[in-house]
Amino acid sequence: MDGSFVLYLIRHLETAANREKRYVGWTDVPVCTDAGPVGFRPDLITGSDLIRCRQTAAHLFPGQVYRPDADFRECHFGDWEMKTYEDLKSIPAYRRWITDPAVRCPPGGERFSEIEARLDKGLVRLRERAGIHSAAVVSHGGPIRLMLSKLAPAETPFNDWVVPAGSLHVLRWADKTQWEAGARCTFFSAEPITENGNM
């Protein structure tokens, strides 16, 4: 047995666009809050290459190396990028998309299957990293909900996950070979992002 494996899924800290309830996909906006440092030190820190994830990692893991990976980016919302529900609610295509995002996609944006495919590539690369027993992935609401849907112990639909800005989900595998094989984790918890719970 190779020992256990721990995966920390961290959603980036809040941005002004999050506060305004905008669809922020590939638009590169900074965070507007502070936090950290966390009370743990993963063997590897990776995540989205967008600035809000880089800044979050710098707050939470000062002095540690962050390995950006575009496969952990948020959905590209196409023509709906930086728009709000109020901006879009009268558009029939938008109404169909929020009802069934797995089948529909924003005009000029990404399909659900495309997001899943690139997340899977990012996770495969992570699983192939030798000599690590823990990793933190700093990402976005959509990708984290997708990863939780695939990796959490109980099968829970994408839309049932709540992943607020600055949230931390901890997934543990009792046996690292289970993680490497793509199995669901054996333990799951949602925890405060910093040791003392402060944001």
Q: What's the pLDDT band for 199 if we cut at 50, 70, 90?
A: very low
Q: Give pLDDT, residue 2.
A: 62
Distance of CA 1 to the CA centre of its chain: 29
pLDDT tens for residues 116-175?
A: 999 999 999 999 998 999 999 999 999 999 999 999 998 888 888 999 999 999 999 999
What is the reported pLDDT for 194? 54
- Residue 61: its pLDDT value, please? 96
C-alpha 29/C-alpha 53 separation (Å) is 10
Q: Distance between CA 13 and CA 72 in Å, rounded?
A: 15
Please state, rounded to an integer, the average pLDDT across all residues of the chain: 92
Provide the CATH number for the domain formed by 5-191 in this structure. Answer: 3.40.50.1240
Query: If pLDDT is split at 50, 70 and 90, which confidence band does 195 have?
Result: very low
